[in-house]
Amino acid sequence: MHDDIRTIQTFLESVHPYDTLPQDELARVAGSFGRRQVPAGTEIYTMGEPLTGLYLIESGSVEILDRNGVLVSLLGRRNSFGERGLMRDGLAVTVARATEAATLLKLPVGEFRRLIASFPSFERFFNRSRGAEPRVNDLTTRRVSEFLTREPIACGPATSVAAVAKIMRDAGVSSLGVTEDDGQLIGVVTTRDLAVKVLAEERDPAAPVSEVMTPGPVTLPPTALGSDILHLMLERRIGHLPITDNGRFVGMVTQTDLTRLQALSSAVLIRDIAGAERVDEMAAVTRRIPQLLLQLVGGNHPHEVTTRLITDIADAVTRRLLAMAEAELGAPPVPYLWLACGSQGRQEQTGVSDQDNCLMLDDRVTAGDMDYFVRLARFVSDGLDACGYVYCPGDMMATNPRWCQPVAKWRDYFRGWIHRPDPEAQMLASVMFDLRPIGGAAGLFTDIQTETLEAASKNSIFVAHMVSNSLKHTPPLGLIRGFATIRSGEHRNQIDLKHSGVVPVADLGRVYALQGRLTAVNTRARLAAATEAGVISPTGGRDLMEAYDLIAETRLEHQARRVRAGGVPDNFLAPSDLSDFERSHLRDAFVVVRTMQSAVGHGKGALG
């Protein structure tokens, strides 16, 4: 083998997805690459020219500039560039320039497309479009690891029977794993064992659990399927199945778990909410939302489906609270409309959400009527907080008198924000453009929404300020080390997938909706509508939607992992928790968002 080809092959073995190729195929691909030495300052390609291959950096660094000359990425060893053009129409859509002397490997376009067509690992890596199809809620095809939603509860063999009973009572479980000091499973004890082998036989409660446990129980690994659990439970007539990883106890699956998982759906939760008579009954239902999130993410549902179903639950809670408030306070003196803004307004709630809401009142409302709506707002807001939708830190709630006003006052608000777009007006307008009716007289909002969109879109100064406001949240791109992580505090070395991830795209979607007078509120719906209306180009719209999909789904997968580990969902992800593959694509998605921000900031809709 030629020395250059051998050197390239050795290098490719350290680069994903080439490391997935068989050795003979890898050798053939290595021979297809050409090597090029590039002096610092050299433009490797310029936007609009045909791309003839995929570039892979062997050494040095390359900067990627958008159409406005704004730096969006600085790439180093093992990074690729040019694939977006090759996956599209063969044209460069950015500028690539060496920032220092670089050695580039170039794979011809024909060979690149052959690898894409022949090897799924290449297609997955270079094509950011949406992947797996949603799965139905079928336990038989889901992995056992998806069922393990809490840390394993275990005891040592010398633990007394009485102590075991207390552990099970306090943890609310019906079985325990009995393990050695190193976590190796040696037995299982259940509430039935305590009843049959201890109480019924009048054994000493101080006896060690090893005397009543089932030793050497049958187990399954986390990689087993739900069908394996069902078959084993039926064959052995058991209701508790320990899960082990190389003999180490990692969790327990019970018949109750299977029943709960099979029955859990947004429809079931909404049914239970609709039938609740007290706030604490609804709170018990909403505490099941993290498990629903886990199930939806595990089922490969698109993020907009998952967040829509979770938001539907918040809507149902709100409407039930409104009905309960009216039952307690009596009929409202005039028609009213409860609206949500923020993530609930956009139907984008995840496993962690606060409340953002307001009240619009019929213009016939009198000063004497306001006490009713003050009490109604307090009832609903307190109920939402009790159900896990915590009070808004910025007091953007109907309990704030500023956000409980007649329609005429709301019209004044919007006119004032449009004609005097100071920083507070920009912030408030951004929030209020996401309003969505939840309960009450929806007609109170229809005209004001149409009027506001028309007036706002015609005011170029206001639009410019809204564009500027939309650029305040930027993707966490570090020029040197991949990601710009949080530098200090509780979330040091993490990235905020909400404020630095989905919010920049939500802000762009809001601007596009304003420019096109589009009534959609959901971010993905706004991007689709803006693309269809020509506010952004087909290529720009497609790229931004794919980037948004990746960021939003990464956020949900992170939250699901937190739930599966027994924690609470949050938005803070350590890039080190991702694989090289995942980091590469997440960074690519952030680059797309940054590029689109640059385009809108320069008065251009999107990349052409």
In a domain, residue 509? The reply is: yes
- Pair 417, 538 in one domain: no
User: What is the CATH classification number for the domain harbouring 362?
Assistant: 3.30.460.10
Instruction: Please tell me the distance from the alpha carbon of residue 9 to that of residue 27, in angstroms, as a whole number.
Output: 6
- Pair 487, 542 in one domain: yes
- Pair 450, 540 in one domain: no
Range of the domain at 317: 266-468
Structure-block tokens of residue 72: 């969006």
Q: What is the mean pLDDT of residues 138-159?
A: 79
Class of residue 331 by CB neighbours under 10 A (exposed 0-12, middle 13-18, buried 19+): exposed
Long-range contacts of 147-150 (CB under 8 A, 24+ apart): 147/226, 147/229, 147/251, 147/253, 147/257, 147/258, 147/261, 148/222, 148/243, 148/250, 148/251, 148/253, 148/564, 149/291, 149/294, 149/563, 149/564, 149/566, 150/251, 150/566
In a domain, residue 606? The reply is: no
Q: Which pLDDT score, from 0 to 100, does residue 608 have?
A: 38
User: What is the CATH classification number for the domain harbouring 86?
Assistant: 2.60.120.10
Q: What is the mean pLDDT of residues 21-45?
A: 90
- Pair 460, 475 in one domain: no
In a domain, residue 481? The reply is: yes
Which pLDDT tens digit goes with each residue over 520-546?
Answer: 899 999 999 999 999 999 989 999 999
Residue with token string 């069908």:
227
Q: Which amino acid is at 28?
A: R
- Pair 81, 49 in one domain: yes
In a domain, residue 422? The reply is: yes
Could you say which of 193, 225, 260 is where a domain stops? 260
- Pair 343, 442 in one domain: yes
In a domain, residue 131? The reply is: no
- Pair 435, 578 in one domain: no
- Pair 357, 424 in one domain: yes
Strand 495-496 relative to strand 248-254: parallel, antiparallel, unpaired? Answer: unpaired
Alpha helices in 172-247 (DSSP H): 191-193, 226-236
Q: What's the predicted TM-score (pTM) here? A: 0.72
In a domain, residue 132? The reply is: no
CB proximity list for 522: less than 8 A, separation 6 or greater: 304, 308, 346, 347, 348
- Pair 486, 434 in one domain: no
- Pair 446, 524 in one domain: no
Could you say which of 66, 95, 126 is where a domain stops? 126
Q: What is the mean pLDDT of residues 297-302?
A: 82
DSSP 518-570: ----SHHHHHHHHHHHTSS-HHHHHHHHHHHHHHHHHHHHHHHHHHHTT----
In a domain, residue 334? The reply is: yes
Which pLDDT tens digit goes with each residue over 163-187?
Answer: 999 999 998 899 999 999 999 999 9
Which pLDDT tens digit goes with each residue over 76-135?
Answer: 788 888 877 776 666 776 788 898 899 999 999 889 989 888 887 777 777 655 545 455
In a domain, residue 607? The reply is: no
Which pLDDT tens digit goes with each residue over 464-504?
Answer: 988 988 888 999 988 655 798 999 999 999 999 999 999 99
Domain tally, the chain: 4
User: What is the CATH classification number for the domain harbouring 146?
Assistant: 3.10.580.10
Instruction: Please tell me the distance from the alpha carbon of residue 77 to that of residue 59, in angstroms, as a whole number.
Output: 5
Q: Which pLDDT score, from 0 to 100, does residue 136 have?
A: 52
Could you say which of 452, 468, 484 is where a domain stops? 468
- Pair 554, 579 in one domain: yes
- Pair 446, 506 in one domain: no
